[in-house]
Amino acid sequence: MSLKHLIGGQLVDGGSRRAPVYNPSTGAVIREVPLADAATLQQAVDAAQAAFPAWRNTPPAKRAQVLFRFKQLLESNEERLVQLISEEHGKTLEDAAGELRRGIENVEYATAAPELLKGEYNRNAGPSIDTWSDFQPLGVVAGITPFNFPAMVPLWMYPLAIACGNTFILKPSERDPSSTLAIAQLFEEAGLPKGVLNVVHGDKEAVDGLIDAPEVKALSFVGSTPIAEYIYARGTAKGKRVQALGGAKNHAVVMPDADLGNTVNALMGAAYGSCGERCMAISVAVCVGDQVADALIARLVPEIEKLKVGPGTQCGLDMGPLVTGAHLDKVTGYVADGVAAGAKLVVDGRSLKVADHEEGFFLGGCLFDQVTPEMRIYKEEIFGPVLCVVRVKSLEEGIALINAHEYGNGTCIFTRDGEAARLFGDQIEVGMVGINVPLPVPVAYHSFGGWKRSLFGDLHAYGPDGVRFYTRRKTITQRWPQRETQEASQFAFPSNG
């Protein structure tokens, strides 16, 4: 079965190249996805450009009505969408359902478009002068999204962009595109005019085409840091507004007074949920003191060994497979590198075999101890079910360690000490911080984004920052002179003085 692009409300072929889509639980190719060529991409740009004038002039309240219907369709089609996510990504059904629901939260936020787009007004800002600010759409905007959240991350982008009056071109990951395409079709079923949302499959050729297209005014990206930096540099050089979210190395500080039972449970989900393929996954446990580290590892080991791993489409599992065979090789390569560097591999998940799914891309949970900052497994984002334990002597040393890392996406601290929590929250140089919360992903009415090399651009994703990213402010100042009154020329710069 070959998927198609969604352009101007029609499913179309485009591009002579095809890429395989795998079921990661079996290792089998289950679909093919077309990779757009320049002509296909231009067709999408033209469709979005043609749809923009009418959509821009559609009242925000009417846009919101379409979004309300879209939300209802997402909820009524949840089972089908969750199945598609799990089938192509490999994450468990429960995890896929959680992803979809967090995406729906962003649709809910976007339904508030009439409130979010209200301008600011001042009467008599000067003598008989009124001033107001208006938030207007940019035009054609685009999003490039990753494989690890094929439903949620696109829903971070286009519902809000479209609510703000823009038209959108989405380039989803070619590894698991079916749920993304199905969701976009539901938006059209909800009454979205043709061409307002277009889905174009592709690889680097499509990405470069979106960056270079003069009609595309803004780009939003989520993925690895090297690609985020590339898109930001190339896009801004062409005068585009760019928001590029990159990689992460998220640390969890475990204090001596932490509730160890709850900490272990939290770390298990944060490190091994979705097979570690989350930009907010905890991949480093920073233990304050050897006693804390020893106690934490002693409790983690049996929990890791009990992980229920199998095909994501089966219920009641903790972990499914990694997304592709190439990614499995990459993660196991990191494990081997950690061993060679001298880290202690306490739990080795490489020997895991899943009955009747021997060709699947499975890896069991891995746990390293005695990890040091110069090791690759500490410095680089592994994006797999690998947790590293680093030992420090004090909270201050832990904060300094985290602040020295190039990434600053998410972090957390486990403690019962309010003073320690306040110090950590104040001094840590990370964009999203949890206090006894392992995955501090902001809700839809806040904004998501890291610091340092985890984010390129000034505005975070979704929430209030998302509204500002997809609009530009226009300030209008007006004055109506009295009739038949001749006013003298004024050469001094105007003021209220």
Q: Active-site residues: which are they?
A: 279
From the list 196, 200, 174, the residue with the least C-alpha distance to 38 is 200
- In a 13 Å sphere around the CA of 230, the CA atoms on its Cβ side amount to 11
- Say which residue the tokens 């590892």 belong to: 297
The answer to whether the CB of 280 falls within 8 A of the CB of 431 is: no
The span from the CA of 36 to the CA of 201, in Å, is 6
DSSP symbols for 304-334: HHT--B--TTSTT-SB---S-HHHHHHHHHH
The answer to whether the CB of 436 falls within 8 A of the CB of 98 is: no
The answer to whether the CB of 334 falls within 8 A of the CB of 386 is: yes
Q: Please, which residues bridge with residue 461 across strands?
A: 448
Burial class (CB in 10 A: 0-12, 13-18, 19+), 1: exposed
Q: Please, which residues bridge with residue 318 across strands?
A: none
**Which alpha helices (H) appear in 342-471, and where do they start and end?**
376-379, 395-404, 418-427, 463-469
The span from the CA of 205 to the CA of 288, in Å, is 47
The span from the CA of 404 to the CA of 251, in Å, is 12
The answer to whether the CB of 47 falls within 8 A of the CB of 193 is: no
The span from the CA of 180 to the CA of 202, in Å, is 13
